[in-house]
A and B are shown apart, each in its own frame.
Chain A
Amino acid sequence: MTEWINVVVQGVLIGGLYAMFAAGLSLIFGVMRLVNIAHGDFIVLAAYMALVAAAALGLNPIAATVIVAPAMAALGYVLQRLLLNRTLGDDLLPPLLVTFGLSVIIQNGLLELFTADSRRLQAGAIEVASLQVAPGISVGVLPLLQFVAAIAVIGGLQALFYRTAVGRAFRATSDDPSVAQLMGLDNRHVFALAMALSLAVVAIAGVLLAVRTNFDPAIGPARLIFGFEAVIIGGLGNLWGTLAGGIVLGVAQAIGAKLDPGWQLLAGHLAFLLVLAVRPEGLFPRIRG
């Protein structure tokens, strides 16, 4: 019994990480209807940036987030202004193709720079530390930190969306970009801010991923899929739903892995397809537009 409780607890905690992958994806889709195919590759890029920053400055990789997050945000802002804003419109192919192109460029660029060897961020003693929460059930400090970070990120985004001027601008452009523009908002700037915020979240997720598991330039697309599945399971446009979606995905994977190591990813995908077949609008939808 405690064995299974452990499995579920692990699944819930990893679900927080998936929710963080999903939050950035959901944010830009909500604001500008853009699905960023390179999202997973940005997560990996952030991990490599943390690797370089930690090595160059002798920082703990988790502390390197302080550098990586603003750097990724700046990258997101510039990318949106120079490239992605031009792809937005009624046709879904341009943003899809351009972000696919970025995905291939990032993957192969990282491959040229860092080779295909898998890396890992060394965070020190925190990696193996754990807390005993009940007899037979212990929780790793690092997974717990990830989960708390996920709640903080999602709570922060929620507050930003509903309590700040920038959030109001996001919601306004999301509801109707042309009216928002008439009211004096510069959509190009608003979209760029949204992408900057998305990539800042990506940076946090990327560092936390890289402390926990090995990474190499090719693992991005799978992270994109996890994030996407969490968004759909949770229901479009609902950030807390996205957290629930991440948890469902994480628990499904943990149970699958417990049954047979080969079933870990499969179980997650099947949970997603099941939700899609039975409840295509997701578990907690807040349908917009």
Chain B
Amino acid sequence: MSAFQVRFADRRSEISLAVFGALIVILGFAPLWAGRDGLRLLGEIFAYVALASLWNLLAGYAGLVSVGQQAFVGLGGYMLFGLAILAGVPPLWAIPAAGLIGAVAAVPVAALVFRLRGHYFAIGTWVIAEVFRLLASQVSVLGGGSGTSLPSGIVIAIAQSRATREFMIYWIALALAVAILGLILLLLRSRYGLALTAIRDNELAALSNGVDVARVKLVVYVLAGGGTAMVGALIFLQKLRISPDAAFSVNDWTAFVIFITVIGGIGRIEGPIVGTIVFFALRQTLADHGTLYLLMLGAVAIVVMLKAPKGIWGVIVEKLDWQVFPLQRRVVFGAQSELRSLSEKEKE
């Protein structure tokens, strides 16, 4: 027996993870207790949790501050419509296919935008998204600039009754969000996770400790591209209608996602979930006042960035040292289970 073990979970994170699991089960039964509007809202929330988690992986861990993830949302959406309408692929299968295409498309995009540093990388990704948007509006079989709807035949083929169809789309949204969170969790607990945390804390130090920064960044960018494309496919399956402006909207799929992540807490896996809840709480309370919630959202994000740059969850972690998802490595010595938290060191 070795003198020490490396552990992820402690008692509190085991409990909170169990609570989180129970919450997912309850959400899985939502068709029994929520109405149509409730289901649609929850489905939208899951999509934003997934998008924000993927952006958090990019920007919070790999230091890739992209403002062009709408390129992959739109690509995924258009792949769903293209595959379903032009190739007869069942929409449910088109979602993973869109993810694959998104990941493949991310490789040449990365080759181009990785030439830019920092801020210029950010706007470079935006230009790519604009190119995607303009290309999509040239595709006349999918309605060109004005877009198209998913034909009713294809929609009915998902399931006969509207209720079943809505349940299925809801469950897919839930499953996709949980799967993306799970994958990010596994990734962060792997060797890549150590490398990513090192890059997050200090890129230069990570590089000098032998982390292949360029490779790790490419892997993360491709994974995020694929995941974002899948979420995009799901979003436009929920909407049943697509247009270039909606699919490649910088505000909907990037600005709000960034605000959500920063408000919740960037660089922490719980952050995007907390931020999404804040976003939808604002939107639902101010629903009667037009775009006021967007003004509020922008203002809240600015205030959080200036006053508490680690976000709501960052404040919670600092005060309580609590994590829902066991990510921090803790060293346990001998059989006495003398617990020495590395968290103090990691904070430095």
Stretch at the interface among B36-44, B46-54, B119-127: B119-127
Which residues in chain B, 77-127, are within 8 Å of chain A measured between CB atoms? 112, 115-116, 118-120, 122-124, 126-127
Q: How far is the CA of A87 from the CA of B124 in the complex (A)?
A: 21
Find out whether the CB atom of B127 lies under 8 angstroms from the CB atom of A272.
Answer: yes
A173 within 8 A of B: no
Contact pattern, A 252-289, Cβ under 8 Å of B = 1, otherwise 0: 00000000001001100110110011001000000000
Find out whether the CB atom of A104 lies under 8 angstroms from the CB atom of B255.
Answer: yes
B302 within 8 A of A: yes
A103-B255, A221-B250 known; A97+B124 contact, CB < 8 A: no
Q: How far is the CA of A13 from the CA of B138 in the complex (A)?
A: 27
- The chain A residue with its CB closest to the CB of B120 is A232
Contact pattern, A 206-247, Cβ under 8 Å of B = 1, otherwise 0: 000000000000000110110011001000000000000000
B72 within 8 A of A: no
Find out whether the CB atom of B126 lies under 8 angstroms from the CB atom of A101.
Answer: no
Contact pattern, B 132-162, Cβ under 8 Å of A = 1, otherwise 0: 0011011000000100000000000000000
Find out whether the CB atom of A266 lies under 8 angstroms from the CB atom of B134.
Answer: yes
B3 within 8 A of A: no
Stretch at the interface among A58-66, A105-113, A153-161, A194-202: A105-113
A92 within 8 A of B: yes
Interface size on A, residues (CB 8 A): 43
Partner of B306 from the list A33, A94, A109, A111 (CB cut-off 8 Å) is A94
Find out whether the CB atom of B306 lies under 8 angstroms from the CB atom of A87.
Answer: yes
Residues of A within 8 A of B128 (CB): 273
Find out whether the CB atom of A92 lies under 8 angstroms from the CB atom of B119.
Answer: yes
Partner of B126 from the list A94, A95, A225, A277 (CB cut-off 8 Å) is A225
Stretch at the interface among B174-182, B290-298, B317-325: B290-298
Find out whether the CB atom of A97 lies under 8 angstroms from the CB atom of B250.
Answer: no
Find out whether the CB atom of A112 lies under 8 angstroms from the CB atom of B305.
Answer: no
Find out whether the CB atom of B295 lies under 8 angstroms from the CB atom of A225.
Answer: no
Residues of A within 8 A of B120 (CB): 35, 228, 232
Find out whether the CB atom of B119 lies under 8 angstroms from the CB atom of A35.
Answer: yes
Q: How far is the CA of A105 from the CA of B299 in the complex (A)?
A: 8
B67 within 8 A of A: yes
Partner of B130 from the list A104, A108, A265 (CB cut-off 8 Å) is A265
A87-B305, A265-B130 known; A29+B255 contact, CB < 8 A: no
Residues of B within 8 A of A265 (CB): 130, 134
Find out whether the CB atom of B138 lies under 8 angstroms from the CB atom of A98.
Answer: no
Q: How far is the CA of A270 from the CA of B132 in the complex (A)?
A: 11
Specify which of A92, A96, A101 lies most central, judged by the most chain B CB atoms within 10 Å of its CB: A101
Find out whether the CB atom of A29 lies under 8 angstroms from the CB atom of B306.
Answer: no
A93-B266, A100-B258, A276-B112 known; A225+B123 contact, CB < 8 A: yes
Residues of A within 8 A of B297 (CB): 104
A108-B292, A262-B138 known; 20 new pairs, CB 8 Å cut-off, are A33-B119, A35-B120, A87-B305, A92-B65, A92-B119, A93-B266, A93-B305, A97-B259, A97-B301, A97-B302, A100-B259, A101-B259, A102-B298, A104-B251, A108-B294, A108-B298, A224-B123, A228-B127, A262-B137, A262-B145
The 23 listed contacts between A and B (C-beta, < 8 Å) are A83-B306, A92-B119, A92-B122, A93-B59, A94-B305, A95-B119, A96-B65, A96-B67, A97-B258, A97-B301, A97-B305, A98-B302, A104-B294, A105-B294, A105-B298, A228-B123, A229-B127, A262-B134, A262-B137, A266-B131, A273-B127, A273-B128, A280-B115
Residues of A within 8 A of B (CB): 29, 33-35, 37, 83, 86-87, 92-98, 100-105, 107-109, 111-112, 221-222, 224-225, 228-229, 232, 262, 265-266, 269-270, 272-273, 276-277, 280
